[in-house]
């Protein structure tokens, strides 16, 4: 049996950085990863997909260049092999960077293999047994495949496998109208494929307010994407030239099907029962406000704990654990203000409460909206789709939440994220003097238009 000061299972966006901090403190750490260093973000999520989004935007800009007085003769052609290779290069550069970083770190033992608990302090991997007083789980999540009629009879794609496509689908049917599905839908439409989105629920991006969801749908429809919401009785069958996707109200002749109906944690084969670690009904590991499980000496970080499904929340889990265990701090998950983005174009930047949540909170709220068509930078760039929205507490003057669906919305939202984290009231933020011409310069104006509801 090999002994360590700590064992980290999973090399996503929390575990490796925590392992590095512990090594800096002179600890002996084992980092176990069954597949690739970097987790979903580096290998099948943010980095490759946003690289693909960038290629798709380049194609979109080229096709619409005449409106800017730039004439490109001939048809805009897409070389999917180059598109795929570019995304793979970005992934490999990041993955190899991690490999090199760990290789030069005394005290770090990186093990490639599948770890399972033998007891609360012991795990087995590759026929060896390892023990440590502290064990951290950062095992991530994977796509959910729903049990739909005919699904096992077709060759479907997931968010992991689709990034390796090196040819353009004739017609891509996206099953699921949430964030992952929407990004791939617009991306492949811009590459030149016909695209249909099939969503069981009544609207796209169901987490968002109805006005945001409607605006997202308008953006996608304006680019020729076919949207079917409220779809039931979804079924699949092979056809002579592809796949038939049938619902209660539509029949789609697709060449490829992307299943984008959510993700589930990679916790079902870790032997958690041997350690006594509790999970909820969905398989997420139950943790307290400091990310500790019900078993002393075991923590769960990142997607597998159900407390955030983003790279940045996973990294913040590392920050919380490191601050509490190594720096004598007392950080809590509940102190985190949730923010995220949807990377369609234009992007959606979101922070805090939705309008629906704010109304349900019992607070006396104020709301302000502004269409992007009334933002100078958006008009100058010729990208006026979407709108800005902010919600505030009428009594405390604190900002409760915001949504910016529009050009650079994923960057502009950070002004509000920072203000909320600093506890800045909206009247104070109104007195900032932003740079002109930017999208962010409209934040004080947006706040000045807040009205009680």
Count of residues in the chain: 453
- The token duo for 332 is 């809590």
Query: Distance between CA 106 and CA 242 in Å, rounded?
Result: 53
Write the DSSP symbol of residue 335.
G
Decide: 136 and 7 in contact? Cβ < 8 Å.
yes
Query: Distance between CA 167 and CA 111 in Å, rounded?
Result: 35
Decide: 10 and 103 in contact? Cβ < 8 Å.
no
The candidate with the shortest Cα–Cα distance to 266, out of 293, 298, 305, is 305
- Which residue is catalytic, options 60, 114, 228, 436? 436
Burial class (CB in 10 A: 0-12, 13-18, 19+), 294: middle
Helix, strand, coil fractions of the chain, as percent rounded to 5: 35, 25, 40
Residue 430 C-alpha from the chain's centroid: 31
SS3 43: helix
Q: Is 436 a catalytic residue?
A: yes
H or E element that contains 199:
none
Decide: 192 and 78 in contact? Cβ < 8 Å.
yes
H or E element that contains 175:
strand 171-175
* b (16+ CB within 10 A) / e for 42-72: bbbbbbbbebbbbbbeebbeeeeeeeeeeee
Query: Beta partners for 226?
Result: 196
For 335, list phi and psi in degrees, rounded to 5. -80, -10
The candidate with the shortest Cα–Cα distance to 229, out of 181, 188, 177, is 177
Q: Which residues are catalytic?
A: 436
């Amino acid at each position: 049996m090999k002994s360590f000061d700590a064992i980290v299972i999973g090399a996503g966006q929390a575990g490796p950085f925590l392992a590095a901090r512990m090594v800096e403190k002179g600890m002996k750490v084992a980092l176990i990863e069954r597949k690739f260093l970097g987790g979903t973000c580096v290998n099948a999520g943010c980095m490759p997909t946003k690289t693909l989004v960038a290629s798709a935007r380049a194609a979109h800009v080229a096709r619409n260049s005449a409106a800017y007085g730039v004439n490109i003769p001939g048809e805009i052609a897409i070389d999917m092999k180059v598109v795929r290779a570019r995304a793979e290069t970005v992934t490999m550069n990041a993955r190899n960077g991690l490999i090199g970083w760990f290789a030069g770190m005394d005290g770090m033992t990186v093990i490639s293999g599948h770890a399972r608990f033998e007891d609360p302090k012991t795990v087995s991997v590759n026929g060896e047994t390892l023990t440590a007083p502290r064990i951290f789980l950062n095992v991530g999540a994977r796509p959910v495949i729903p049990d739909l009629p005919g699904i096992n009879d077709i060759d479907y794609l997931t968010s992991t496998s689709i990034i390796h496509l090196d040819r353009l689908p004739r017609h891509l049917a996206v099953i699921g109208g949430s964030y992952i599905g929407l990004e791939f839908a617009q991306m492949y439409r811009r590459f030149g494929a016909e695209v249909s989105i099939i969503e069981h629920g009544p609207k796209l991006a169901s987490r968002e307010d109805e006005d945001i969801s409607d605006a997202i749908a308008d953006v996608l429809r304006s680019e020729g994407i076919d949207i079917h919401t409220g779809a039931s009785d979804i079924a699949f069958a092979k056809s002579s030239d592809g796949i038939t996707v049938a619902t209660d109200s539509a029949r789609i002749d697709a060449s490829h099907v992307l299943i984008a109906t959510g993700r589930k944690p990679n916790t079902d084969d870790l032997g958690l029962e041997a350690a006594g670690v509790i999970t909820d009904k969905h398989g997420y590991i139950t943790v307290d406000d400091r990310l500790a499980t019900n078993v002393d000496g075991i923590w769960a970080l990142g997607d597998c704990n159900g407390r955030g499904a983003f790279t940045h929340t996973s990294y913040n889990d590392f920050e919380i654990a490191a601050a509490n265990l190594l720096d004598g701090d007392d950080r809590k998950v509940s102190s985190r203000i949730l923010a995220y983005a949807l990377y369609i174009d234009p992007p959606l930047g979101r922070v805090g409460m939705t309008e629906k949540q704010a109304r349900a909170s019992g607070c006396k709220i104020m709301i302000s909206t502004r269409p992007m068509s009334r933002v100078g930078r958006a008009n100058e760039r010729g990208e006026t789709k979407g709108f800005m929205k902010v919600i505030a507490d009428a009594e405390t003057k604190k900002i409760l939440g915001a949504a910016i669906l529009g050009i650079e919305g994923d960057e502009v939202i950070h002004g509000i994220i920072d203000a909320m984290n600093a506890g800045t009231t909206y009247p104070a933020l109104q007195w900032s003097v932003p740079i002109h011409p930017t999208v962010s310069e409209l934040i004080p104006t947006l706040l000045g238009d807040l009205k009680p509801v």
